[in-house]
Structure 1
Amino acid sequence: MDSSSSPRVVKQYQVFLSFRGEDTRRTIVSFLHKALVERGIDTFKDDKKLEIGGSISDEIKEAIQNSKIAVVVISENYASSTWCLNELQMIVDLHKKQQLTAVPIFYDVAPSDVGHQRGTFALERYKCSKIMLLFSSEKRKFAEKIQKWREALTEIAGISGTDPKTCEDEAAMIEDIVGRVSRQLFSMETVKFCDTVGMNSHMEELNSVMDTEGLIGIWGMGGIGKTTIAKCLYKEHSHRFAYHCFIENIKSSAEKGLIHLQEKLLSNILGKGHEKLWSVEQGCLYIKSRLGNRKVLLILDDVDNLDQLHVLAKETSWFGPGSRIIITTRDKGLLFSSGVRCVYCVDILGKNDAIQVFKQAAFEGGEAPSDDYEQLSIRASSLAQGLPSALKAFGTYLRRMTSIEDWEKALERLKKVPHQRVMEILRTSYMGLDGRHQAVFLHVACLFNGDSVRRVTSLLDDGELEIKALTEKFLIDISADGCIKMHVLIEQAGKEFVREESDYMPWRQKVLWEEEQIIYVLQNNTPRFSHQGTTTIQSLALHICEMPHVLYIKGTIFNTINLKFLKVFQHLNDIESKLQFLPGTDGLPQQLRLLHWDAYPLTTLPLTYYHNLNYLVEINLRYSNLERLWYGNPVRHYNALELF
């Protein structure tokens, strides 16, 4: 293709600087331009030394038309340049149409002189005689242009601007202008997240919290919308603060180092002109010295480590009076360790809001095209259990399906296999746990969801501390009646993590809960098989109601597996156990803590198990054939057991 036929890319600017070069190029305009650029504001400044001709160039016209704000520096000789007057006329016309915002700076001139065209702003110098006007259409057009300049000067004088006489010094004036421009640019941004379903209720609660000085926490599970809430809060309240900064995804940014986080904070607030940091300690001192007298709104998003918070805002005294530091995190313990006492907990969406969020993602216009799709939407949103990120992921995934049959198949798949986007979000929470917390998390997801806290903590090492850690990281909740509640998608993700860590080989899984896999493992008790990693299996939960046939096993299989938790359960009490020992091969794991075996087939516990109760915490043998636990006297560990 010939290059001449290619569309020309038009540069977009945030700010256009209009000024009289000979008056201000080397003074206020040079400093103002530098300050705007250092704040990260894309600014157009005409670097030509002289305005050539009376008409402004196409480049200047495009720069004005494609800018959001025009900062007009009106100096003593501004009106002596037809170039400047033409720029001003265009700026004012766009300002009236609300296509651009004009910000005047009256640099050593009185706004009233500008408005009434007195002194150097008098336009009589451009007038033509009445006789000449009769003979020249061009001069009549010029007279009309003068009238437009006059109107533009009157208009710009009526706009609230900056008068250097009211500022302490020029440096303070420039700082004030840049802050004002920054706030106006931010307010112009089209922010769709404030229209998010359910956001009004969040804002109602948080707006009152914003009256509290100091540290504020926003806490919730991954994917629940903490970042979106923080962005909306920032949008609504940043105009109240001369300095504001939103650092998104701190966990990811921290991978480049803690100094990188400090540099990011200082650059966002002070611009790029601050000195280079060479240590974290120096960065802390620099933040305190430069921001200690400034009223700041600082939002730190997705903090997952105390060090990240300490290098940016360890104490509220680092910032001026009236400052607010808002922290979003999945870890409630981190907030309390930092002295945050004002914590807003983000809950899942209610049923109606959840359906609405799903339909916005799934259908053009946000409405289901038929009753069938409406019912499918209800089913899909129930799978997400009120988690906004999952609702959007499911909606986007199903949007490409072209038939009801495709939707049905996709929903069945989502019941069994976690959506990739949801897995990515929840994996971040899981990987943030240490090894012991991960192990407990997986056991809760696969075995103990819905069980009483008292029971689960008794079965685990340091159970109270482990359960508390998962609660603080919003991976589980505790119901009013003292039971563990884990969100269905977190449970689903936890089971998928178990599969992933075993390379999808059942005999290598830490926990087994699927009937076919358990039968496979219990039936393949061979030396070859035992060398493949069955010792990694720590827990087994088998629902025997769903088994098609009775399974006979050798008790010696348990010597290979070394289970800690054995749960064989059924929902009916009138069926015979479908898990039986082969005659003469009864046996139980030696390190068992939980023995739950509904319809246990024997009349007593295996003799070999009699002397190995050092670890056992709970025996639950409902609907069993048990006549006695064991022969002989109770062992010394008996009173440590809970019998059901």
Structure 2
Amino acid sequence: MHRPIFGHSFAVLVAPILLSVLAFYFLSKKKNNAARNAADADNGAPGSLTAPTDTDFGGSSSSPTGNCYEVFLSFKGSDTRKGFTDHLYHGLVDAGVDTFRDDDELCQGQDIRPVLMEAITNSKVLIPIFSESYGTSSWCLDELVQIMERKNNNGQIVLPIFYKVKPSDVGHQRGSFGDAFLKREKRLLKRGFDPTTLENWKKALLEVSTLSGYEADGYEADLVKSIVRKVLSELKKKFELDISENSVGIDRHVKEIMEFVDTKKSHATLFVGIHGMGGIGKTTLAKAIYNKLSNQFEHRSFIADIRESWKRNGAHYLRNQLIYDILKHENKVHNEDKGTTYISCKFKCKKVLLLLDDVDDVIRLKRLAGNRDWFSSGSMVIITTRNERILEEFGVDYPYDHKEMDNDQSMILFSKHAFRRDSPPREFEDLAHKVVSITKGLPLSLEVLGSLLCGQKLAFWRATIDKLKEVPPKEVREKLRISYEVLEYEQKQIFLDIACFFVGTDSRTASYMWDACQFFPGAGIEVLRFMSLIKIGDDHQLRMHDQLKDLGKEIVREENRREPRNRSRLWDYKEVKKVLKKNKGTGKIEAIDRTEGSSEGSGETAKRDGDIYTEEQFKNLTSLRFLHVKGAHLTGDFKDSMEGLRWLRWRECPMNFEVNNFPAEELAVLEMP
């Protein structure tokens, strides 16, 4: 019996099929290229990418390509397809970003205009890459018009990249970019091209040239990294968890507390306390309860971050905030007894909802919430604290112990920050479970570590997990420190400055100093925000979680445990006084805050400064760039002292003072209210 011979006969059978497939492929590719070239030909039609109507897609939201993209790249293929655009595309894809570029995404033989239009419409970030001959392509310019329309109408993000051309040359059609564009324009006009389309192109070019983008004038690898990081940051903003979205694991806690509240229909004021470790999500839970109940109260007040605000602003500031929130008018109460009498008298007939966040002292709690007689019947006071004993001593009605998240909830929260979705991709599943297991359900760690790992490759994940395994299970601060260690030098300086001095400060003001010190605050703040190490409020104020703030201060203390004068930053009242009064300043000190507030660990409120400082006490502070004093007197000749000072914040500055040769040449910020 002979074996069948497949080799020759099989080839004879299959060859015609393969030839047909290849012929169809190249014919389709040629057809698509011809379609695109037709739009770029001098005698071609305008080729506008008009937006599809509902009937174009039958009213369906489904995509012809079956995909919704995160990034759309618009580029002139002959200029950058095989170089910069290819590097950027793969950089984005490697970071887990769904990216559209026509040669990869378009099915051969289909009408590509609707596909391109829908890709632009559905992408969250639109990146036009302007090269020298970008303006010679009708196709590219039509894409640009649609990109700018999506930005203006839908709020989509546009990040222009100017590849070996200047933004002003693109916007005003000058230089080599303008030469190529204008030659093309003349040829088109001779052939009766629609002048309205030309004006739309010019308008889009001018508008996009004014946007904040990137210029390719250095190392392209570094530029790609910066763009990828920026894209990830912008995409992450869509998933940032404010109180309205952060339902991960919180519903069960809200339900438990509300069940208790609903059973207490008494006429007395109800006090509910939420306690737990830092970073566990106490404030988020308290806000959720507050929001759920707020429509039942005419008078409401939310006093945030009492522990820090009390140190920075004092009791009177917080009491006056409370009075303004409830009564809606200014009232400056500066006397302790009068303040208590005023609040207890004026609030007695008010049904109040009050949220006191991060209380660290029972005396402070009593000064703000007093007792049940301060408020009308039906009032409710919510208190968050790390210290359960404060709630016991105050006598709250319901102390709630806020526990860690369970494994499923932890994975959802971690995935939102690491992958911008609710679950990890298949190739990251095992590693994600390891991180979640190590963090033990602490929301802050899940958020920070997820942000650290977002967009990183598997090797970086494995190295980070190895570091986490070396940290003792309950050492939260050391887990968070891993994110600090990967920062660049300038970013570390900004982080430490915020932790020690600038929580609650306008980021724009602080950036003047950081810019003068060449810390590159634009990029630095963006990196810190992306990594969840800071947040920026709607009022531009810098925000930082207490655990991260404590981490920053601990890093500074580690510079020299025994001698504060050998640290880079001083903020503790007693330590600053010791260094300045005894002329123990050194060139290592870069920033000093010598103001009213609590001396750390003492629990006592410092008196107003009021001291007199001479040039001798600052003579050795050759590296000082930030100085904050309040009510102090400076006197003497400051020549050759503090020559590098970039920011002087002198609150309650005396009307008469004698200072000669004060080093103002390098000042970027001067505050003397």
The two structures have a TM-score, normalised by structure 2, of 0.34
The two structures have a TM-score, normalised by structure 1, of 0.36
